[in-house]
Amino acid sequence: MARGSFDRTPPPFFRQGPSALSKMMFFSALAVLLMVADTRFRLTLPLRATIATALLPIERVLMVPVAAWERSSEYLIGLQGALGREQAARGELVQQAERASRVEQLARENAQLRGLLELRPALAVRSLAAEVLYEATDPYSRKVFIDRGSASGVLLGAPVINEQGVLGQVTRVYPLNAEVTLLTDKDAAIPVLNTRTQLRSAAFGLAGGAGMELRFMAGNADVQVGDLLTTSGVDGIYPPGLPVARVSQVDRRVETSFARIALQPVASPDSVRQVLVLEPVGLQLPPRPEVATDAASAPTRKSGRR
């Protein structure tokens, strides 16, 4: 058979249509046209909504195992955390019960010792709840105003505390509100007691409300960083045992006989909102001897004049 008689055309299966370049240009133009049409006329939005609606049940069915696994993991983690917190709470409850029993025992022993020594019972100080209204506008002082005044029974010089410790003292009383001078004020002073050494001293506020300090303490005084200072109760104003401040720095200078002792107040006045106004302890104490003597001699003088 002659070579020229062969059919050189490819079979239908291998026949090619337009060239690859033509197809690329056509589909590129079609893609651009569809994107522009979708952007301008939102042509595919109904189609997308229909497809999303049709596929939503399928998606939810497929998400059931994943959600179940996540919930089971969260349940197990939460259960473990709850068991741990329960165990910690039980431990704290046991410790609190032990402390309560010791406190009750100490209270009974204290009452017995006071009875044996014929001492006065502990004073029950009356208190009044109040709320801080605003801070004084004077930038050189640390004073706040509370919403209780003389109409509510607030007295001049009454101590003001919160759940952390002593905040200050009432220095001015109005009918419906009162001014409280904080311990960090430059004019504030409070007698304190070192709970570690039982040494009494006086704490003063610093200028600008920068903190507190112990003044007139000897350079060799037994004061250490971290010592807790409480109210001594000898001033007739503050009840004894209220937390006041902690020693934050002790500077024993060689050139002077006094030590510079910086204090950090226990109660933070910047974040306080609810306070308690206490009745001054001096109102429940017996009168001083000279006052009692003057009161007793007054009727005698009156009768002599008659």
Third-level CATH fold of 127-283: Thrombin, subunit H (2.40.10)
245 closest CA partner among 149, 139, 166: 166
pLDDT of residue 243: 92
Binned average pLDDT, 10 residues per bin, the chain of 306 residues? 56 64 88 82 78 86 87 88 88 86 82 68 76 84 91 91 90 93 91 92 85 86 91 87 92 80 88 88 70 54 47
pLDDT of residue 305: 47
pLDDT of residue 141: 84
Q: Is 72 helix (H, G, I), strand (E, B) or coil?
A: helix
18 closest CA partner among 27, 5, 9: 27
Cα–Cα–Cα angle for 132, 138, 140, nearest 5°? Answer: 110
In DSSP terms, 98 is beta-bridged to none
Q: b/e per residue, 98-120, with b = 16+ CB within 10 A?
A: eeeeeeeeeeeeeeeeeeeeeee
pLDDT of residue 304: 47
pLDDT of residue 6: 57
pLDDT of residue 244: 93
pLDDT of residue 306: 45
* Every domain of the chain and the residues it spans: 21-118, 127-283
